[in-house]
Structure 1
Amino acid sequence: MHDTFINDHLERLEQQDPGSRDHAQRVAIYGMALGQKLGLSSEDLQQLRWGLLLHDVGKLGVPDGIIRFPGKLTAKEWAAVMQHPAYGDQMLAEVEGAGLLRTAVRHHHERYDGDGYPAGLSRNEIPLFARIAAICDSWDVMLTDRAYKPAMTVAEAVAELRRCSGTQFDPSLVDLFLSVSHRMADIPSYVEHYIS
């Protein structure tokens, strides 16, 4: 996996949906902090970072008008959005060195209780990278202003993670994430430190 490939795809995502690149970078930072706390090897951390940077790459296969639409989607439009993890996995299928990172891309919308997509996996059937991605992706979405909702406070986001622990998210990873998330409360300086 080359940085050029990642940067090119992040740029395409940014053109499709402004803010996507910054979102991906923050999700990767959160995931790296959690991966380090889990004691992942340097090779696994690199795969995790790539997977988190590219977790939404499959949105390039969803029509722009659906991705950018600020209101409620129809059932048909939502079904198209739900295909983005599979599209992303397909895009990476021929990429040399994709390895583990594809599990974060394909399964980051699975739920711990089995009610997620695209495969309806549950608990430890969900690959570790995807369980990490689910928490980090949701955390960033909650803390970021969106066209359809304002950002939550950190306290509100913590409460939401706790509320969804054991249903949407792996409870052991939620606890671990919350033990390191205080380091990321001031996200602009944290991002600058780890990306620059």
Structure 2
Amino acid sequence: MQKIRAGRLLATATSMSLFTVAASADAGVPMLFVTFPAMVVSLIPIVLVETVVLARALKTRAALLAKSTAIANVVSTIIGIPLTWVALVILELVTDGGSAHDLTTPLQKFLAVTWQAPWLIPYERELYWMVPAASLALLVPFFFASYFIEAPIVARLERGFPASQVRAAVFRANVASYIGLAIFNIAWLMWSIEYAPRM
């Protein structure tokens, strides 16, 4: 009963926090709705890459690890990424990241796509480059969330290997897949700066 009440309180607090951020930022761009569909679409290639890296690290056949890798990635993508984003939005809110600032200096621009990356402030004329830049910045917390969720799942499903070895292999696998995601985001950012229409 207490767990249910705690869950309801957390959900209410989260909803209120998100509403406050949306109101103070005049809607803005909630980056979960930009990054999450891409994460779901890229699940298959990510699972393939991570399975191959895991197999090499654990010195076994990739086919034997495909199921556990897929399960771990589905859990981290469907549950881990949204929860991480909610935590980042709350952090942005409580540290005054929900307020608009000038974008006249390189530091201000950097903060706008890192500190404010979870829910971008609507700097309308700058969003053409800010959205891909924020997506790139969010890969850092998403990487750690993915690793800390996937490592124990794979270790539990693959008990034939030492847990420490599995965790190290999962870390390497996530590095490989996130390098691919980073390359995509960098290409997207460069294309946006060069070709995307300005508002």
- TM-score normalised by L of structure 2: 0.36
Determine which structure has more spread, i.e. the larger CA radius of gyration.
2
Q: Pick 1 or 2: higher relative contact order, CA cutoff 8 A, min separation 6.
A: 2
- TM-score normalised by L of structure 1: 0.37
Between Structure 1 and Structure 2, which shows a larger proportion of helix residues?
A: 2
